[in-house]
């Protein structure tokens, strides 16, 4: 829109919030204001859910191959509008362009994957007690209206992991994007999903406590799929519990990166820098705590120092940028708090540990390596979500495995090793949803993604990712209406 105010989508119409307020969106690399989105609230959520419930009545009966064609078309349109989406995604979210390209690819491919998976089956036939006269069916049905609540670190990818299977399974949806990345969400939906029937896909922007919580609370929303912090997940679970809603929660992580004694230190340094710093460490599966054999510690720390000193901070649209900013000042302050606490308790800064000394704005923070850390420090326990690499030495790999499991969250873990006995022991003993051996943070559309314990237990991608948006119904069908001899009277 010419005035920088972008409307939200309810029932096929682009509208402002009923209460009239706006949320300002900035570019995290410059702090310049780049647009405004409606500050939606309960009234807007009610309109969107009502529209979705009405649209669902027909949408649920849309043939699976037609639904598939609509999803493939959305993927085609993502390619057609690639450049404009890429620029806005980079400007609003902050990570460098090559990482944004990867995000766009990874937002389009689930549309195709679930388009096909969604028309593959609707359940199964199971053996009946009387095989000649009865039929027993296990049906997979859509829930109805699903709420999709999304964070800002991968705003389109994490939306696609929900939106594609939710639609393929026959649900209508109301999307609540993050306040920080609502512009790109609206732009993607406007350009690439405009061929869906009105009301099947709705977007209500606004804050978590206003728009998000109203969506969770709405009685006609039967399921909520949400990615975000543990605190928000706990709040959503508490609000949804009295209504027994189906919840699908993908929450925070504190992933460990373990270097085994047999690992080559030089390539471990390269893998670790990638695993900890991609998206400036703002990945739920970022390596946030590192366990290395004592004899390799100094070499790895020194290798990281050399590597990190050569990385260039800048705007994501600048081709020379390796690392973008943090998404907001409050996230930078949190990183500073974690580093300060570690230093106060005896950690040593090998490199970084501060804001960059260059003039200019933006929420930048230097990539940072710390040694002499321990588990009493906040940085080894709570999610930092920033460019920090705290390294702790172990004598016995059994200790490192215990430490991996010592955190309340259980999203992922990485091991560097080529020693089969160590690898098997590691992947069997760690309590996390994804284990990466040597190749950290690589996803697979067919591989379920999610965490254990406080990370929430939801699974996206794979067959599990479609199952999450389908309810199970058992049908027992007897062809005869004759009375049974076990009915009353006995």
Q: Which is nearer to ligand NAD, 224 or 366 (CB)?
A: 224
Closest approach, Cβ 248 to ligand NAD, in A, equals 11
Q: Tell me the per-residue interface mask from 231 to 270 with ligand NAD, x by CB under 6 A, - otherwise.
A: -x--xx-------------xxxx-----------------
Catalytic residue among 179, 250, 288, 383: 250
Question: At its nearest, how many Å lie between ligand NAD and the CB of residue 259?
Answer: 23
For residue 453, state whether it binds ligand NAD (rule: CB under 6 A): no
Q: Does 110 bind ligand NAD (CB under 6 A)?
A: no
Set 92, 99, 192, 284: catalytic member: 284
Rounded least distance, CB 210 to ligand NAD, Å: 9
Binding residues for ligand NAD, rule CB under 6 A, total 32
Closest CB 68 distance from ligand NAD, rounded Å: 25
Output the CA–CA distances (angstroms, integers) from residue 37 to 17, 158, 216, in the order listed.
9, 20, 21
Of residues 331 through 390, those in contact with ligand NAD by CB under 6 A are 383, 385
User: Applying CB under 6 A, which of residues 150, 268, 275, 296 lies at the interface with ligand NAD?
Assistant: 150
- Residue closer to ligand NAD by CB (options 159, 377) is 159
Q: Residue 201 or residue 269: which is nearer to ligand NAD going by CB? A: 201
Query: Between residue 195 and residue 234, which ones bind ligand NAD under the rule CB under 6 A?
Result: 207-209, 212-213, 216, 226-229, 232
Site string for ligand NAD, 384-423 (x = CB under 6 A): -x-------------------------x------------
Q: Does 455 bind ligand NAD (CB under 6 A)?
A: yes
153 touches ligand NAD (CB under 6 A): yes
Nearer to ligand NAD (CB atom), residue 228 or residue 314 = 228
Beta bridge partners of 226: 149, 249
Tell me, letter by letter, the H, E, C secondary structure of the chain.
CCCCECCEEECCEEECCCCCCEEEEECCCCCCEEEEEECCCHHHHHHHHHHHHHHHHHHCCCCHHHHHHHHHHHHHHHHHCHHHHHHHHHHHHCCCHHHHHHHHHHHHHHHHHHHHHCCCCCEEEECCCCCCCEEEEEEEEECCEEEEECCCCCHHHHHHHHHHHHHHCCCEEEEECCCCCHHHHHHHHHHHCCCCCCCCEEECCCCHHHHHHHHHHCCCEEEEEEECCHHHHHHHHHHHHHHCCEEEEECCCCEEEEECCCCCHHHHHHHHHHHHHHHHHCCCCCEEEEEEEHHHHHHHHHHHHHHHHCCCECCCCCCCCCECCCCCHHHHHHHHHHHHHHHHCCCEEEECCCCCCCCCCCCCCCCEEEECCCCCCHHHCCCCCCCEEEEEEECCHHHHHHHHHCCCEECEEEEECCCHHHHHHHHHHCCCCEEEECCCCCCCCCCCECCEECCCCCCECHHHHHHCCEEEEEEEEECCCCCCCCCCCC
Residue 62 falls in the annotated catalytic set: no
Q: In this chain, which stretch among 1-9, 92-100, 152-160, 341-349 interacts with ligand NAD, using CB under 6 A? A: 152-160
Query: Active-site residue 192, yes or no?
Result: no
Other C-beta atoms lying within 10 Å of the C-beta of residue 192: 23
> Taking CB under 6 A as the rule, does residue 451 contact ligand NAD?
yes
How far apart (Å, rounded) are the C-alpha atoms in residues 399 and 401?
5
Q: Which residue is nearest to ligand NAD (CB)?
A: 208
Contact with ligand NAD (CB under 6 A) among 107, 160, 178, 407: 178
Choice between 233 and 293, CB closer to ligand NAD: 233
Q: Pattern of binders to ligand NAD over 284-323, x per CB under 6 A?
A: x---------------------------------------
Residues identified as active-site: 250, 284
Residues binding ligand NAD (CB under 6 A): 149-153, 158, 176, 178-179, 207-209, 212-213, 216, 226-229, 232, 235-236, 250-253, 284, 383, 385, 411, 451, 455
């Amino acid at each position: 829109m010419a005035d920088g105010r972008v409307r939200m989508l309810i029932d096929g119409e682009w509208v402002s919030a009923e209460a009239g307020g706006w949320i300002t969106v900035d570019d995290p690399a410059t702090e310049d204001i780049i647009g405004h989105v409606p500050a939606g609230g309960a009234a807007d959520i009610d309109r969107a859910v009502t529209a979705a419930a009405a649209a669902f009545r027909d949408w649920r009966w849309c043939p699976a191959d037609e639904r598939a064609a609509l999803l493939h078309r959305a993927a085609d349109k993502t390619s057609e509008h690639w450049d404009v989406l890429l620029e806005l995604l980079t400007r609003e979210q902050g990570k460098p362009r090559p990482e944004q390209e990867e995000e766009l690819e990874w937002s389009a491919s689930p549309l195709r994957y679930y388009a096909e998976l969604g028309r593959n089956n609707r359940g199964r036939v199971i053996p009946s007690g009387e095989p000649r006269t009865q039929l027993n069916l296990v049906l997979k049905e859509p829930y109805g209206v699903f709420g999709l609540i999304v964070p800002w670190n991968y705003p389109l990818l994490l939306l696609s992991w929900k939106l594609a299977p939710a639609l393929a399974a026959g649900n209508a949806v109301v999307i609540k994007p993050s306040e920080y990345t609502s512009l790109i969400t609206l732009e993607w939906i406007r350009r690439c999903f405009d061929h869906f029937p009105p009301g099947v896909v709705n977007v209500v922007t606004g804050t978590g406590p206003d728009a998000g919580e109203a969506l969770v609370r709405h009685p006609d929303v039967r399921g909520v799929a949400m990615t975000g912090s543990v605190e928000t997940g706990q709040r959503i679970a508490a609000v949804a519990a009295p209504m027994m809603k189906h919840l699908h929660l993908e929450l925070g992580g504190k992933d460990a990166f373990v270097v085994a004694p047999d690992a080559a230190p030089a390539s471990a340094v390269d893998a670790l820098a990638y695993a900890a710093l991609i998206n400036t460490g703002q990945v739920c599966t970022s390596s946030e705590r590192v366990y290395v054999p004592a004899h390799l510690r100094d070499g790895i720390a020194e290798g990281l120092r050399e590597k990190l000193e050569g990385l260039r901070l800048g705007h994501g649209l600048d081709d020379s940028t390796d690392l973008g900013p943090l998404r907001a000042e409050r996230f930078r302050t949190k990183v500073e708090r974690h580093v300060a606490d570690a230093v106060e308790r005896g950690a040593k800064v090998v490199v970084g540990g501060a804001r960059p000394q260059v003039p200019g704005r933006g929420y930048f923070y230097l990539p940072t390596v710390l040694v002499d850390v321990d588990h009493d420090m906040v940085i080894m326990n709570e999610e930092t979500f920033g460019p920090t690499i705290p390294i702790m030495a172990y004598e016995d790999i059994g200790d490192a495995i215990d430490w991996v499991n010592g955190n309340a969250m259980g999203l992922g873990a990485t091991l560097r090793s080529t020693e089969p006995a160590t690898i098997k022991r590691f992947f069997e003993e760690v309590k996390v949803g994804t284990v990466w051996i040597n190749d950290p943070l690589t996803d697979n559309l067919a591989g379920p993604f999610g965490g254990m314990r406080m990370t929430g237990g939801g699974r996206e991608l794979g067959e599990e990712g479609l199952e999450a948006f389908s309810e199970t119904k058992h049908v027992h069908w007897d062809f005869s209406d004759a009375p049974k001899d076990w009915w009353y009277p006995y």
